[in-house]
Amino acid sequence: MDKVRAFEAEELLSLDTRYRANLINSLIGFKPVQLLGTKNLAGETNVAPFSQIVHLGANPALVGVVFRPETVARHTLENIRSTGWVTFNHIRKDFLNEAHLSSAKWEGSEFESCGLTEFYREGIEAPFVAEALVQSAGTPLSEYPIEENGTLLLVVRIEGIWVPESIVGDDGYLSIEKAGTLCSSGLDGYHSTSLLERLPYARPTLKK
Amino acid sequence: MDKVRAFEAEELLSLDTRYRANLINSLIGFKPVQLLGTKNLAGETNVAPFSQIVHLGANPALVGVVFRPETVARHTLENIRSTGWVTFNHIRKDFLNEAHLSSAKWEGSEFESCGLTEFYREGIEAPFVAEALVQSAGTPLSEYPIEENGTLLLVVRIEGIWVPESIVGDDGYLSIEKAGTLCSSGLDGYHSTSLLERLPYARPTLKK
C-alpha cells in the first residue's frame, strides 16, 4: 500500500500559509463552482466564481454562501445587501478561462473585462451569465457571522431556476453533468465528471 | 439552442416534495461526499455519508457541516457533541455501495452492517474508515442554528490529516482525483472526475 503522509496538530499550525491553503482547500473533497452575478445601486455589474456554497434545504429552497473576512473588498456581498439579489450560474468548460479570470481584481465590470455576457430577467436586480446553461436567482434572508475566523454565512432563498429542459428528470433530478457543469478541487483545480450511478434510497433491505 | 425550463417563484413553492428535493439538491452543483465517523460514550460506532459540508477557512483549518432539523435522529451530531471528535473519509468507487448503504437506519453500528472497516488513531475518539485513502479528524468548536429552516451549521477544526504521500503536491495541493475521491450530485448521483487543469492565480495580466 501507498505510504501515508500525516499532518498532525503541531505541523498543521506551522505550515507555510500558501501550502496550508492548498492542502485544506483540497481536503473538503470536490466542490461546486458557480459564478455569482450581482450589481450595485449605480448599476455597475460584478461576477465572480464561488466554491464555498452549500445546500441548506429544499423547502424553502435555501443556499448558504460563505464570504471571507470583510478586511478584503467584497463587492458581491455588498451588492447583494444593496439590491437584494444574486444570480448563480454553473461554470462550463467553454468559458472556464473567462470564469476563472473573473476572480481577479478588475476596474469596472468583470463581465466586460473577462469576456462574459450579462443579461437580465424581469424583476431580478442582478445579471445572469448568458454562457451558463444552469441558472438560478435568489434573495438574501440573513447573515451568520462565523466568529472563529471572521467569515460570514449568507443564507439565500432561491426565487427562480432556469435550465435546459433536456436535463430535467421526471423526478426533478437535474443532469448537471449533461449540462457540462464542472466541479473544483483545492483553490484552482477544475474537473469534468462521469456519472457512475444514481443509487436508490438506502434501506437495510438493499443490502446484497 | 435547447429549450429552457423555468421554475419561477409560485411553481417552486407548489412542487411535489420529493421532486423539489431532487431539483434543489441538484442546483448547488457537484458536491463533496465524505463518510463521517463517530462513536458514542458507550463506544458504539456510527458512520454516514454527508454532502452538506463546506470549507470555512485554512488558518485555522475549519470545516462546516450542515445537520438537518433535530426532528430526526442525528446520531452523528449527538456523538460529536459527546466525544468531541469526528473523522472525515473520502468515498471511493470500490466502497461506494457500502458507503451509500450507511445512510440507511440500522440497528447497531453501520460499520458492521454495511461492510466497512473501522480503525483508530491514538488520542482520537472517533473511528476512521479503513477503506478511505484521504482521511482527517476534527473537533467541534461551535454550532450556528439556521433559523430559516431549523438546520444547524457545526464548525469543526481539523486536527489531523492522513493521505497517500503520492497525492501531495509540492505546493500542498492534494490530487484527490488520483486518490479516487468521488463527488455527488442531487440526492443520489455519484461521479468520478477528470482534471481539466489547474489555473494560475487570476490577475488582469493573465488575460490573453
Type of residue at B88: F
**Mean pLDDT for all residues in chain B:** 94
Residue A163 predicted with pLDDT over 90 = yes
Q: How far is CA A146 from CA A7, A70, B57, B69, in A?
A: 25, 12, 10, 20
Question: What pLDDT sits at residue A74?
Answer: 80
Task: Enumerate the residues of chain B whose CB falls inside 8 A of the CB of residue A101.
Answer: 202, 206-207
In the predicted structure, residue B28 carries a pLDDT above the cut 80 = yes
Instruction: Assess whether pLDDT exceeds 80 at residue A187.
Output: yes
- Identify the helix (H) or strand (E) that includes residue B6: strand B4-8
This prediction's pTM: 0.96
| 3-state DSSP of B155-184 | EEEEEEEEEEHHHECCCCCECCCCCCECEE
**Cβ–Cβ contact B176 with A under 8 A:** yes
Residues of A in contact with B176 (CB under 8 A): 26, 29-30, 185
Residue that the C-alpha cell 471511493 belongs to: B92
Nearest to A159 among B9, B60, B162 (CB): B9
- pLDDT (tens digit per residue) in A28-56: 999 999 999 999 999 999 999 999 999 99
A101-160: pLDDT as tens digits: 998 888 888 899 999 999 999 999 999 999 999 999 999 999 999 999 999 999 999 999
Q: Which of B4, B7, B205 to mutate to test the interface with A (most CBs of A within 10 A)?
A: B7
For residue B92, what is the DSSP state? B
**Residue A1: is its pLDDT beyond 60?**
no
Listed in sequence order, the residues at least 6 apart from A207 whose beta carbon sits closer than 8 Å to its beta carbon are: B101, B113, B114
| pLDDT of A71 strictly over 70 | no
Measured between CB atoms, which of A19, A101, A182 is closest to B172? Answer: A19
Is the Cβ pair B31, A28 closer than 8 Å? no
Cβ-based neighbours of A43, under 8 Å, separated by 6 or more:
none
- Among residues A39, B187, A191, B98, the alpha carbon closest in space to that of B89 is found at B98
Q: Looking at residue B71, what is its pLDDT?
A: 63
Chain B closest-CA separation from residue A42 CA (Å): 23
Nearest to B165 among A4, A17, A193 (CB): A4
Task: Using an 8 Å CB-CB cutoff, list chain B residues near A173.
Answer: 22-23, 26, 185-189
Strand partners, B202: none
Contact between residue B15 and residue B44 where contact means Cβ atoms under 8 Å apart:
no
